[in-house]
Chains A and B, each alone.
Chain A
Amino acid sequence: MTTFDKLLEEKKLIRVTLRLPRGQFHDRKFYAYPKCVNWMRNEVPKMVTGRLGSAFTPHEQLIERLRQWMAGHPMSYGPMFHDMDPQTDEVWEMKTADLRIFGWMYRPREFIAVSGGYTDDYKEPTKTKTYADDRRQVILARDALPLDGDKFAKGNFDELV
């Protein structure tokens, strides 16, 4: 077993940051598994807008959602608009029009991303994967992480986000 800092040192987890605009400051933290960082860094920028036809490219969507998270801005507006949702087994999903990012809350306001996907890949007629697969992937990754203490935070949306 080991500490969270040690996992960062060993590059088993990577802190992901963004340069925030003027007047915005880092409030929430975002960590990711190396494979997920690779996806964000190398695959997302090459993606094209999906069937929803967003005015934002997937890369812009990713940057904007992470900016929103890191700057501590609201991740939901009433019951209608949720940019992040809890799933079963303490798995959380961060979403944009064309992207899905799955992970868990290590601590309140500290998200660990395990995997990401392209929204159209989860939906017919181009469905190649399921949300359940990603949830399972998060649980397996979390279980395998040799981390001291509680591995995830429990609570409702307002307590954790």
Chain B
Amino acid sequence: MNSFELEIDEKSRAGSEFMARVVNEIRRALASEKSTRKITQQAIADKIGTSRAVVNRQIQGLENLGARRIGEILWAIGWEPYFEARKIPRGENNFSITTNNIEALPGTDRKITELSNVRIDREGIKLTNQPATAAR
């Protein structure tokens, strides 16, 4: 089967994914509240002291929400945020480093003099070893 995997750099992915999660949680909370009682964006805006347009942009995910505003919007509808940071399990973090002369390539005597990317994933450490950057 032919398939194509879309990619984005890890930093953008981590940031945008978290922002999207926050926005979706606010939308879920708001939709849930609206299903049981009448609540408007204007009412939320009045309660937290801003305009309806700002609230609308924020719950649409158009503005980068600060932690304070997240708390305020949820408070205004009778909810509260729950946030917890956790360490990414070993071997599941992807990051890039640039360094020189890392002893590498198990099973060979080849060294990488220029490393553009070291990826650590479920299979372990993967070293990018392009012929142009590898030297004996």
Contact = CB atoms under 8 A, between A and B. Distances in A.
Contacts, number: 95
B34 A64 contact: no
Interface string A1-22: 0000100110100111111011
B130 interface: no
B23 to A, nearest CB: 9
A66 B6 contact: yes
Interface in B49-78: 59-64
Number of chain B interface residues as a range: 20 to 34
Given A63-B13, A64-B20, A77-B30, A22 B92 contact: yes
A54 B89 CA distance: 31
Contact of A77 (B4, B24, B63, B92): B24
Interface in B1-28: 1-8, 12-13, 15-17, 19-20, 24, 27-28
A15 to B, nearest CB: 4
A55 B62 contact: yes
Contact of B62 (A18, A37, A52): A52
State the main secondary structure of chain A at its contact with B: mixed
Contacts of B20: 56, 64, 68
Contacts of A68: 20, 24
A78 B31 CA distance: 5
A104 B111 CA distance: 51
Given A60-B12, A64-B16, A67-B17, 20 more contacts: A16-B3, A16-B5, A17-B3, A22-B88, A37-B4, A53-B62, A53-B63, A55-B61, A55-B63, A55-B64, A56-B19, A57-B16, A59-B12, A62-B6, A63-B8, A63-B16, A77-B28, A78-B31, A81-B31, A97-B60
Closest 5 CB pairs of A and B: A78-B31, A60-B16, A55-B64, A15-B3, A77-B31
Interface of A: 5, 8-9, 11, 14-19, 21-22, 37, 40-41, 52-57, 59-64, 66-68, 73-74, 77-78, 80-81, 97
